[in-house]
Structure 1
Amino acid sequence: MKSGSLALAGGLCALAVSQLALAEHDTTPARDIRAGRLALQQNHPQAALNAFNSALEGIQMAPERYSSDLLAALSGKGYAALWLGNDHQAYSAYARALPLARKPKDRKVVSTGLARALIANGRPIAAYNQVKPYLQDAPAALQSAIAANLLNWNNTAAQDLASAAPTGVYEGPDWQARLFRITRNYVDFALRPKLRLGFHYSSDSDSNINQVYSADALWPGQWLSAAKLNPTFWQAGLQQTQVSDPTGQVGLSAIRAGWTAVPNRNWQYTVLGGLGTSRNWTYATVHALALYQPSDSWGLDASADREPIRTYAAVQNHILVNTLSFGGFGRLRDIGTLSATYFHQSFSDNNQRNGLVIRATPEFLSLGRWPISLGVQGYYRQYHSSTVPYSGYFNPRNYREALGYLIYVQKFSPYWTLRFYSGFGSQTIDGATSGVQDYFGTLTGLIAPYCAISLTGGYSTIANAYGGGPGYHRSYFGGEISIPF
């Protein structure tokens, strides 16, 4: 669940600004604060934000005279900014307000608002820690549950929800009660056993066509995971693939089994292995992923994959690729995120490949009251292959690409999110440079409590295992549905 999508008319934090101290004297900042509160009561968050900003400007003109109004102005600004989806403004306001909240009641209220802003800014670990001292308070426990769900600590989230509403009915403002129901739907869905069905189709300018069908059962269990955080999810399933081009058609069938575990608050990992066959060829498949993230500011990951290359010629030549990757990310608050991954690929035709992927993603821009965010991303990838045999896959000796992406994110509701990427740049294949384009999008949603849906599709002129070079292009689409049972 992306909690930034939980923007609700009525406010997005547990803050009751009317409870914070306001100076008795009838100053200009005090009048602006009262105007801001009235605008919030009348469901006019933009007018409220303007009023609180005006109050802060007045306070800045004479900070000693109006110091007693500062906490109320900052808290009101944070509340209105969250309502409008201006997550960075909300974080800045609450972070300034927290040191001023000296009374325990005020500190609890501001901490809960700050946690909400941290969640909206993609920092669930910091949000969870922020409200940890106040879990006896229902609004704080609710924000803790949202953060825990984002971190895949759903047993913890369920416990926090029980603290927020021991009877199962949240006692509080309507918008908080609705937020509670939404969060409970996400957590309940995450903890239930599911049937996952998937489909993928792709075709390119060389008439390479892939059709992939999959079905997996996932069920919660014990062992391996920390019981207080999340159950271990066991998985078993099968996959059927059809590969064709103008020279022929071939099918691949595979079975697989494995698990996903959360052993502690820093680690999560997945192990999935299987066997596949195609005519007289039998092969092993592997997918393993480990994530280490002790804070919102940085994390590390490692993965291992073994799979066939899905072209007709590669399957005929029994070509497998083994991929090992190691990477990590670092986040600079209010600036953005930088990630880098090194990978090594070993092919069964004795080809060896080493490469690097770098992504730089500045913080996104929220568009006022609309549930829309815009962002950009810089993407760079290069690799070198040791040999250049033709065993049925595209394999230049030296490859390099650099693209800039425009990213559009829209929250249709707390349950549905659209992401669309438009990328433009260049690629260099053994010294020859050409322009490339890359467009793709995803739509994810939860029809609680019946199913979760993920749809994806795209068009790209970037080289891949199927082909590449000037004039090459590839289109694809797919979907996945998870149904609890």
Structure 2
Amino acid sequence: MNTRWPLLALLLMPAVHAQTNVVADDIRAGRAALADSRPAQAREWFAAALAQSGSAREDRYAAAIGLGQSALWLGDYPAAARAFRTAREAAGDAGAQQAADTGLAQALNAQDYSRAAYALVAPYAQGQTKPTVELLRAAQSLGWQDRAAGYLDAATPPPAQGYLGTQYRLLKDDLRFALAPQVEGDFGYSHDSDGLDTLHVGAAYRFAPFRRGDWSQRWGVAANTTRVDDGRQMRHLDDLSLLGQLSIGDNHNIDLDLGPGRSGGWHYWQGTAHWNWQPGDSFGLSAGAERAPVPTDIAIEHHLIYNLYSVGANVRPDARWYVLPTYYRQNFNDGNHRDGGSLRVLLSPYDIADTRMAIGGEFSARIFHSNQPSHGVYFNPANYRTAQFGLVGVYSINPEWKLRALAAVGRQVIDGAGASVYTIGVSLNGRLPGNGRLELQLGRSSAASASNGGSGYWNNSVNLVVRYPL
């Protein structure tokens, strides 16, 4: 009888037992570090436990779940997603699978992979609070709030304290806001180095959205008035618009803002129409059309108006990178037309551990050619190009208010003459009593706009939008 294999097994048993104890100790240490609010140390313990090649399935699962939770805490969402995927592979029952899928959905939502997150938690969300929170986050990003209402009604509200309770309350308010009729008021003012003052005031009413088959629809009306003053004369632009938001199936969205406008005795049609096709989280196409007066006093006096047609794409080569190219054709009724394009490359902000801050980056470029260059009526060189690099900072004042800042520098070239340009801006977004919303933007830029610019040009602007559900 061959006794070598039983003897070998007996010799190896102490080593296996010792390794099992080490893995269990690492997992316990990681859990204790998480409970003590030390996510960096917890990540080290869980990573060490996961690195043990001989770990049992349940230990591998526990280490991967802990590693994912630690990475989420530290804002390392790609690492969290990898850990939760490992936990999914090691899950031994339906409950373990649900916990891993919910953690993965949280990591994906944090990276704006909303469709993937929605698909992961939809099977669990009926009556389950944690999956419902992640489903609501995904639905908000996708504009699918009407689909998520039933999941919210079925979920049991968690305790108000902590991450889960706070997120549940905020997302519930966001869902109720999105599904209610809304009133909106907006105000805008700008002043530039040419002495042009532009003052805008608007109001809008949107009906509650409704679904009919694969179509989700929302309609509304808006009225706006704009005063344009260059210090010598003052003009007013007034318009009424029909507003529409249409979603067709999962992938197609159409936004409409169309209606009549006037300035004194001049009457015209104005507005925008925009279509977007988004089949997944990493790629989409868009097309749009816009018609509006050229917003300078002299241009309004000459009844100048333009039609702009554009096509664009959004591409995500990586979780944190967004590439947004656009081509456009702008036709003016004075016979001029422009062919141009723009490019934005965005680096999604990185969370800074143990702070409320995140830092990201942005590159933007714009170029156009006018076939009939002119001067005096509106900014219209034969050739224009500009490029800027900027830093983006985000600061969460609290769960309800967020501050965002941009500082960018670059260069523009107007008919061969180059000059340095800059853009700075600050925006504040938050919630008002009664479930209202506020958006405030302040900015200054020396880059040319679509209708104003030139050597030494700059523009200061402020915009405020307030929305309330009814």
State the partner residue of 1:6. none
Alignment-derived partner of residue 47 in structure 1:
41
CA contact (8 A) 1:87 1:366 kept: no
Q: CA separation in 1, counterparts of 2:143 and 2:463?
A: 25
Please tell me the residue identity of whatever aligns with 2:468: I
Contact kept, 8 Å, 1:189 with 1:448, in 2: the verdict is no
Q: Does 1:295 align with 2:299?
A: no
- Tell me what 1:268 maps to: 253
Checking the alignment, whether the CA contact within 8 Å between 1:86 and 1:367 is kept in structure 2 is: no
The letter for the 1-side match of 2:174 is Y
User: Within the alignment, does 1:388 sit opposite 2:382 as a pair?
Assistant: no
Which of 301, 310, 314 aligns to 1:316? It is 301
Q: How does 1:366-445 map to 2 (within 5 A)?
A: 366-390=351-375, 392-445=377-430
**Equivalent residue in structure 1 for 2:336, among 351, 372, 380:** 351
Gap runs ≥5 in structure 1: 1-22
Report the equivalent of 2:3.
Answer: none
Matches within 5 A, 1:160-179: 160-165=151-156, 169-170=157-158, 175-179=163-167
Tell me: CA distance 1:217–1:407, structure 2 relative to 1, closer, same or farther (3 Å): same
Q: Deviations over 1:313-359 (max 9, x none)?
A: 11111111111111011112345121111111011111100111112
Residue type at the aligned position of 1:99: E
CA distance in 2, matches of 1:221, 1:408: 34
How far did 1:98 drift?
2.2
Partner residue, 2:143 = 152
Normalising by structure 2, we get a TM-score of: 0.91
Deviation by residue 1:230-278 (Cα, 9 ceiling, x = unmatched) = 5x22111211111011331111111111211222211111111111111
CA–CA separation in structure 2 for the residues paired with 1:157 and 1:65: 39
Q: How much does 1:364 deviate?
A: 3.0
The DSSP-based 3-state class of the residue aligned with 1:210 is strand
Matched, 1:123 2:113: yes
User: Match for residue 7 of structure 2?
Assistant: none
Whichever residue aligns with residue 328 of structure 1, its letter is A
Structure number, greater radius of gyration: 2
- Report the Cα offset of residue 39 of structure 1: 2.4
Residues 94-122 of structure 1: CA distance to partner in whole angstroms, max 9, x if unpaired? 23332222422211110000000100111
Q: Which residue of 1 aligns with 2:175?
A: 187
Aligned to 2:8: none
In 1, distance between residues paired with 2:376 and 2:289? 22
Which whole-Å deviations, capped at 9, do the CAs of 1:19-55 have from their partners, x for residues lacking one?
A: xxxx997533322211121222233334323432343
SS in 1 for 2:373: coil
TM-score (norm 1): 0.88
Determine if contact 1:365/1:375 at 8 Å carries over to the other structure: yes
Structure 2 equivalent of residue 141 of structure 1: 132
1:235-250 aligned within 5 A = 235-250=220-235
**Could you tell which deviates more after superposition, 305-314 or 244-253?**
244-253
SS of equivalent to 1:252: strand
Q: CA RMSD in A?
A: 2.2
Of 111-120 and 284-293, deviating more is: 284-293
- Report deviation, 1:302: 1.2
- Alpha-carbon displacement from aligned partner over 1:279-324 (angstroms, at most 9, x marks no partner): 1211111211111111101111111111111111111111111111
Identify which of structures 1 and 2 has the higher relative contact order when contacts are C-alpha pairs closer than 8 Å and 6+ apart: 1
- Hey, what's the Cα distance between the residues in 1 that align with 2:317 and 2:366? 22
1:27 & 1:422 partners in 2: Cα distance?
53
CA distance in 2, matches of 1:448, 1:52: 43
Aligned equivalent of 1:204: 192
Which residue of the partner structure matches residue 86 of structure 1? 76
* Residue of structure 1 in register with 2:85 after alignment: 95
Residue type at the aligned position of 2:26: D
**Does the CA contact (< 8 Å) of 1:243 and 1:250 recur in 2?**
yes
Give, as a single letter, the amino acid of the residue that structure 2 aligns with 1:376: G
Partner of 2:12: none
Change (3 A) 1:360 1:113: same
Provide closer, same or farther for how the CA distance between residues 67 and 226 of structure 1 changes in structure 2, counting only shifts above 3 A: closer
Q: How many Å apart are 1:87 and its aligned residue? A: 2.2
- Return closer, same or farther for 1:243/1:172 CA change in 2, 3 Å cut-off: closer
- State the distance in 1 between where 2:326 and 2:85 align: 33
Structure 1 residue 455, shift from structure 2 partner: 0.5
1:162 partner amino acid: D
Q: Which moved more, 1:457-466 or 1:360-369?
A: 360-369
Q: SS at the partner of 1:150?
A: helix
CA gap of 1:221–1:344, structure 2 versus 1, over 3 A, is same
- C-alpha distance 65-255 of structure 1, shift in aligned 2 (>3 A): closer
- 2:32 aligned with 1:38, yes or no? yes
Deviates more, 1:37-46 or 1:252-261: 37-46
Aligned residue number for residue 104 of structure 2: 114
1:16 match: none
In 1, Cα distance between equivalents of 2:306 and 2:335: 10
Distance in 1, matches of 2:366 and 2:411, equals: 11
Q: Aligned ranges for residues 463-474 of structure 1 at < 5 Å? A: 463-474=448-459
Deviation (angstroms), 1:74: 1.8
Residue equivalent to 1:449: 434
Return the letter of the residue paired with 1:43: S
Code of the aligned partner of 1:94: F
Q: Which deviates more from structure 2 when the two are superposed, residues 434-443 or residues 137-146?
A: 137-146
Partners of 1:236 and 1:109 lie apart in 2 by: 45
Q: Is the 8 A contact 1:123 1:296 kept in 2?
A: yes
Aligned to 2:315: 330
User: Per-residue CA shift, 1:120-179, capped at 9, x if unaligned?
Assistant: 1111111001112323433223311221122111111211112223xxx34798542332
Equivalent residue number for residue 206 of structure 2: 218
Could you tell me whether the CA contact under 8 Å between 1:400 and 1:429 is conserved in 2? Answer: yes
**CA distance in structure 1 between the aligned counterparts of 2:89 and 2:433, rounded to whole angstroms:** 40
Matched, 1:480 2:465: yes
Provide the aligned length of Structure 1 versus Structure 2: 453
8 Å CA contact 1:224–1:263 kept in 2: the answer is: no
